[in-house]
Amino acid sequence: MAGSETKERKILVAVDEGEESSYALSWCLNNIVAENSKDTLILLYSKQPPPLYPAMDGTGYVFSTDVIASMEKYGNELAESVMEKAKKLCKEVHDVKVETRVECGDPRDVICKTAEKLGVDMVVMGSHGYGMIKRAFLGSVSNHCAQNVKCPVLIAKRPKSAAPST
Amino acid sequence: MAGSETKERKILVAVDEGEESSYALSWCLNNIVAENSKDTLILLYSKQPPPLYPAMDGTGYVFSTDVIASMEKYGNELAESVMEKAKKLCKEVHDVKVETRVECGDPRDVICKTAEKLGVDMVVMGSHGYGMIKRAFLGSVSNHCAQNVKCPVLIAKRPKSAAPST
């Protein structure tokens, strides 16, 4: 792209467990990031916040601290595995500077806040960050970000032909 | 970007009268299109369809053919002026191959259908294609396209600092 060799752009890529986000990252590496560019990819993963259970007077059902610890451990391992996969993908395409960030919270807030805080030049994300049901209730993550992030947002949709044949 | 010199990408850029779309085009030229690339920019303008007035039995108010002709002329001139401005912007940044298309209809349908018909690699658009009131009724053009276009969609939002000081 014009003058890309001299510009130092910060590109925030929202990553999650889904194939759609891997596709978005891969598309970004192949179409946006220049070979030998000074771009920095910031891989951002939004982790579910740890469950908070105030004293319950209803069902009285409370997770034991063991269960909560297990859930947190699982969350951390998931974040780590998503990041490892994303970093591997980056290395496979070309040697771009990569930073990783794991933040707790709703991906819609996390992406918007992080984009603003870091003053990124662009946000890249897949078009589906939630399952169908959750999306119906909470709205689309990508729609929310496209409306609220102040910089350009690229929403990548995995072509049907690239879907696994299962 | 990786291998951009050899790829022949088709990038559809939705243009309209708004500053937001000029910003999107300019951002695309500076950040997506490579110098000496084989990319083709397809500038797409959605023109209001000509008004259709079937026999009215209510108010009996009908536009004369003269008025309709004037409206069509205005629409064509507007389309031409938007395209000229967009082509000038392209030339100013770098000498990329540009095609222009003017289609009649709701921009949401026009953008989605044209993207599909031409099999473009990417759609670039501003985040506001309608005024506030119309958007409230019809929904955002960019949201609709991000959900329905099958290829990646880049939604560019003009930074507040770039807004005219009027």
Q: Examine the pLDDT at B127 and tell me if it is beyond 50.
A: yes
Q: What is the pLDDT of residues A31-52, one digit of tens each?
A: 999 877 889 999 999 987 766 6
Q: What is the domain partition of chain A in residue ranges?
A: 45-105, 122-159
- Res. B4: pLDDT tops 60: no
Under the banding of pLDDT at 50, 70 and 90, the label for residue B112 is very high
Q: Is A153 in Cβ contact with B2 (below 8 Å)?
A: no
Rounded to whole angstroms, how far apart are CA atoms B42 and A18? 31
User: Which residue of chain B is at minimal alpha-carbon distance from A34?
Assistant: B1
Pairwise CB contact (< 8 Å): A4 & B34: yes
A87–chain B Cβ distance below 8 A for any pair = no
What residues form DSSP beta bridges with A15?
A: A45
User: Looking at chain B, which residue has its C-alpha nearest residue A38?
Assistant: B1
pLDDT at residue B54, rounded to an integer: 53
Please give the mean pLDDT across all residues of chain B.
82
Contact B31 A121 (CB under 8 A): yes
Task: State percent of chain B over pLDDT 70.
Answer: 77
Judge contact between A76 and A133, C-beta under 8 A. Answer: no
Instruction: Name the DSSP class of B119.
Output: T
pLDDT of res. A116: 96
DSSP sequence for B144-156: HHHHH-SS-EEEE
Is residue B138 packed enough to be buried (19+ CB in 10 Å), middle (13-18) or exposed (0-12)?
Answer: middle
Give yes or no for residue B65 having a pLDDT over 70.
yes
Question: For residue A139, what pLDDT is reported?
Answer: 63
Find the closest chain A residue to B34 by CA distance: A1
Facing residue for A2 by CB, picked from B30, B153, B154: B30
The arithmetic mean of pLDDT across residues B96-111, rounded, is 93
Check B157 against A142: CB less than 8 A apart: no
CB B82 within 8 A of CB B25: no
Please tell me the predicted confidence (pLDDT) of residue B157: 84
* Interchain contact, A157 vs B152, CB within 8 Å: yes
Contact A24 B127 (CB under 8 A): no
The tokens of B16 are what? 């309209």
DSSP string, A2-24: TTTTT---EEEEEE-SSHHHHHH
pLDDT score recorded for residue A166:
37
Chain B residues closer than 8 Å to A30 by CB: 1-3
Nearest-CA residue of chain B relative to A126? Answer: B152
| pLDDT tens by residue, A110-133 | 999 999 999 999 999 998 655 556
Using the predicted structure, report yes or no on whether residue B154 has a pLDDT greater than 70. yes
List the one residue out of B58, B135, B140 whose CA is nearest residue A140.
B140
What is the distance in angstroms between the Cα of B31 and the nearest Cα belonging to chain A? 5
A2 contacts chain B (CB < 8 A): yes
Contact A85, A17 (CB under 8 A): no
B50: pLDDT strictly greater than 80: no
Residue A122 contacts B where some CB pair is shorter than 8 Å: yes
ipTM: 0.80
d(CA A159, CA A143): 19
Mean pLDDT of B114-122: 96
> For residue A128, what are the contacts with CB-CB under 8 A and spacing of at least 6?
A18, A20, A135, A140, A141, A142
* pTM for this entry: 0.82
Q: Do A154 and B159 touch (CB under 8 A)?
A: no
Question: Which portions of chain A are predicted below pLDDT 70?
Answer: 1-6, 50-63, 128-139, 160-166
In this complex, is the C-beta atom of A11 within 8 Å of any C-beta atom belonging to chain B? no
Q: Which residues of B touch A159 (CB under 8 A)?
A: 150-151
Asked which of A58-62, B6-10, B44-48, B62-66 is least confident by mean pLDDT, the reply is A58-62
- B130 SS3 class: coil
For residue A116 the two structure tokens come to 């603003």
Nearest CB partner across the interface for A152, out of B3, B27, B35: B27
